[in-house]
Chains A and B, each alone.
Chain A
């Protein structure tokens, strides 16, 4: 996938405008010339300038022949979208259900799904998922004392 300079430039410039507009609502401190808005305002102006220059450069070099978004072929795209969905769902599952269900169960499911989908050998995948889940739990929770939430398994482990 490729995003053209003109498109990303426009996005950055718009972000810059939004930042400059948003920081003007920040409170100023009595007796101080510069407040909490100074630094983000400077970066917002920077985004606007460099985004704008990217748009100009993109338009000039392309001379009218450009595609805003160049997509790869359908097969690659489908595979990429599936992979992105897997990552997204896995992370959100940990965030939403990590406290209640516990990391260990979720980690096992995520590993199993990921391994079966890409490794495609059920027995080996299951064994690997179990081994990796135990290994991660031992390293992070037991050895390094990271307070990984165990959810329903609290007190069991």
Chain B
């Protein structure tokens, strides 16, 4: 094992690998910071280049680009209210509110630092418990995934705030949007109205851009003041504030990292879901609920740690069983095969040095977040000085190009426009957007696993509690809903009694 480790250090320490890590990080940074371009796309664009690289450099490029683009997605979310990735949307409100308070450096710095922490904790778990966790991930069947999806959806409503009724209504809108497209069990086209562009359903990215970017562009354009006057942030350097946040919120960060790794390890549940669940759990457990939504660092700590940890977690089933935890590892598995490194339980024995090298690359790639976080802060300072009158038209073009890029199709633009209109109506009626977004992201997972389970039990609902894992998750879902309902009934009763 020690010799494996030494040869791994030699592999990773080669100039080619180190140079690849830096270049791929920069590439991931650019792609992630552009709305509409996802971490998956960054990695897919790298594939032709990986052909030219040594196996370890090829993996290093994928790992670095993915880690960096997930972090970089937070930058447009914080500065412009346009999430670069669905994961960033989970804590965008607080990130943007902090920027409005003049704390851009603090937010972006914190996002980088806690992303690094999450990534490193995820990597440590990956090193320590890969085979064990992979076995755990394999026990998940459609029943467990269904309940996990329900838990995720419950988070949507928990995150949304105090108005349960509006949160639920918003969630239903999201679920309805998710059911557009070919039905999973029969292939029947639902709500497509004869258009083949809708057969594949409403894709997240144009939807996300439409719901967040268009209302923001509209707001900027209809503002009379040309220059954004941001107040000075609270005294003290960004670094010292991040240090303080780290001391104060070490537990949400650690919890987010561990949960993120576990959720990331489940095939089909990636960084997005990890970030949402971690933020929701933290919101329930927080000691300062009054600060949430008004520019509070805690959700950024919890979500930022979780989504980078999930990236590492996704590699657990990928390395051990060649089962991709998310789309990024799906590509990585392909590249591993191409490089003659066959993932599987034998990889630890046959290719021990390779596995250690992957682990080392993970650590390095996550450490790269810190210098790039600093770069992000410098860029943020520039972006915030540009007058909004210039930003708004440029953002519109950026939004359109992003919506087009995801499928290289004009239908993305129309989806963006339609959901932008929907978001405008929802904003005007005080319906929260977050549950709709989560409904769109998770609706398909919930429905597909529900249908798959119903078909395999031939409609027997009790079978949803037959398997121990699924029973546990099911009971947890019901417990959360019982708690929420009791609390709102209690609140209703209290409001009525004094009168």
- A residues with CB within 8 A of B: 1-5, 7-9, 12, 15-16, 19, 22-23, 26-27, 29, 32-36, 38-40, 43-44, 46-47, 50-51, 53-54, 57, 76, 79-80, 82-84, 86-88, 90-92, 94-95, 98-99, 103, 107, 110-111, 113-115, 118-120, 128, 132, 136, 139-140, 144-148
Contacts and interface: CB of A to CB of B under 8 A. Distances in A.
A91 B397 CA distance: 9
Contact of A3 (B222, B393, B428): B428
Contact of B185 (A5, A36, A128): A36
A127 to B, nearest CB: 11
A51 B169 contact: yes
A24 to B, nearest CB: 13
Interface residues of B, number: 61
A95 B37 contact: no
Contact of B397 (A8, A33, A110): A110
A79 B224 contact: yes
Interface string B289-309: 000000000000000000000
B396 to A, nearest CB: 6
B176 A43 contact: yes
Contacts of B195: none
A139 B410 CA distance: 19
A79 B413 CA distance: 24
Contacts of A22: 191
Contacts, number: 173
Given A12-B172, A54-B169, A140-B405, 4 more contacts: A79-B221, A118-B389, A119-B226, A136-B401
A81 to B, nearest CB: 9
Contacts of A3: 425, 428-429
Interface stretch (B311-319, B351-359, B414-422, B471-479): B414-422
B222 A148 contact: no
Contacts of A83: 217-218, 221-222
B81 interface: no
Interface centre among A7, A95, A107, A128 (most CB of B within 10 A): A95
B394 interface: yes
B186 interface: yes
Interface centre among B31, B190, B401 (most CB of A within 10 A): B401
Contacts of B191: 22, 40
B222 A79 contact: yes
Contacts of A84: 218, 424
Given A146-B404, A146-B405, A34 B176 contact: no
Interface of B: 30-31, 34, 37, 45, 165-166, 168-169, 171-173, 175-176, 179, 183, 185-186, 188, 190-191, 214, 217-218, 221-222, 224, 226, 387, 389-390, 392-394, 396-398, 400-401, 404-405, 408, 410, 413-414, 416-417, 420, 424-425, 428-431, 447, 450-451, 454-455, 458-459
Contact of A47 (B173, B416, B429): B173
A93 B447 CA distance: 36
Contacts of B416: 91
B165 A50 contact: yes
B165 A54 contact: yes
Contacts of A44: 176
B401 A140 contact: yes
Given A95-B413, A114-B393, A118-B392, A80 B165 contact: no
The 5 A-B residue pairs with the shortest CB-CB distance, nearest first, are: A114-B393, A36-B183, A83-B221, A8-B429, A118-B389
Given A46-B168, A79-B224, A35 B186 contact: yes
Given A1-B428, A146-B405, A57 B165 contact: yes
A22 B186 CA distance: 17
A53 B186 contact: no
A91 B429 CA distance: 25
B451 A47 contact: no
A26 B179 CA distance: 13
21 contacts: A5-B429, A8-B425, A12-B172, A15-B176, A34-B459, A38-B450, A44-B176, A46-B171, A50-B172, A54-B169, A79-B221, A83-B222, A84-B424, A87-B221, A94-B400, A99-B410, A110-B396, A110-B397, A113-B393, A114-B392, A136-B401
